[in-house]
Structure 1
Amino acid sequence: TFDVSLLAIEDGIFEVKATAGDTHLGGEDFDNRLVEFCVQDFKRKNRGMDLTTNARALRRLRTQCERAKRTLSSSTQATVELDSLYEGIDYSVAISRARFEELCSDYFRATLSPVEKVLKDAGMDKRS
């Protein structure tokens, strides 16, 4: 879930001015997009091998993709690296924050609507 709240703080008291969100958008969507990218990258690098048939390989990949996503929130590059990911094949890919943002651009655009709604509901505009 993606949630947005606009608060005012006066004399140490917080007042909620407006809230909005998207219940169909969250961190897992970004993880999934990175997993899809890595699955295709693995396939391209390994003569079409499809690791999606192996639940353990997918779980391990998902864990590393989530770690990479978190790293990219504070760094410009992250590496997804797994020894013996599938059928004894090691996998490694470096991903830049710019590439991650490109992969997830539709999700990032989807965050704008709730932000705009909160600003409108609070009687503010983007320049305030």
Structure 2
Amino acid sequence: MVLLKMKETAEAYLGTKLNDAVVTVPAYFNDSQRQATKDAGTISGMNVLRIINEPTAAAIAYGLDKKGSGERNVLIYDMGGGTFDVSLLTIEDGIFEVKATAGDTHLGGEDFDNRVVDFCIQDFKRKNRGKDMAGNQRAIRRLRTQCERAKRTLSSSTQATIEIDSLFE
């Protein structure tokens, strides 16, 4: 159902029918998970030409298949909302070989958000004579929103500021 919606969205954007697809999967997917993904593509009405690992797709998107000559080892990491994956690829003559992959299915952007929120709560408490906002859900929600915004800013900048007016009385 999700793939069908994605296909329809892509067709509407491109203004043409799509028949073929290359589908990406996490590098740690086993054969049955890859086959299930391929089957889902077929059910959505697409001819799945190939299933490739997400790190390989990232390397291709970055143009690593066209840069330089000779064998190169490339480390690619993918920090998702709730997962962290790392793959080591060898690239030679446009051929990608996954040498190793590892990850943590319980580590991702949300964990960073939580750590920054916890840090800010403790920092606020230290700077405001022991005032503890931990029990104030509204303050925590506002703080979390700003921490997430700061995290996104840090994706393209070297610093970010978290400022919230009237956060906690």
* TM-score interval for Structure 1 and Structure 2 normalised by the shorter chain: 0.5 to 0.7
In the alignment, which residue of structure 1 is the partner of 2:136?
54
1:76 aligns with 2:158: yes
Task: Provide the rounded CA distance (Å) in 2 between the counterparts of 1:10 and 1:41.
Answer: 49
Equivalent position amino acid for 2:147 in 1: C
Classify the secondary structure of the residue corresponding to 2:126: helix
Equivalent position amino acid for 1:59 in 2: R
Equivalent position amino acid for 2:102 in 1: A
In the alignment, which residue of structure 2 is the partner of 1:31?
113
1:63 aligns with 2:124: no
Structure with the higher strand share, 1 or 2: 1
Larger radius of gyration: 2
Equivalent position amino acid for 1:28 in 2: E
The CA deviation at 1:79 is: 0.5
Aligned-CA RMSD value = 1.9
TM-score, normalization by structure 1:
0.57
Gaps of 5+ in 2: 1-82
Structure with the higher helix share, 1 or 2: 1
The CA deviation at 1:45 is: 2.1
Classify the secondary structure of the residue corresponding to 1:84: coil
Classify the secondary structure of the residue corresponding to 1:78: coil
1:29-87 deviation per Cα after TM superposition (whole angstroms, max 9, x unaligned): 21111111110111122221111111111111011111112222322211011111112
Gaps of 5+ in 1: 88-128
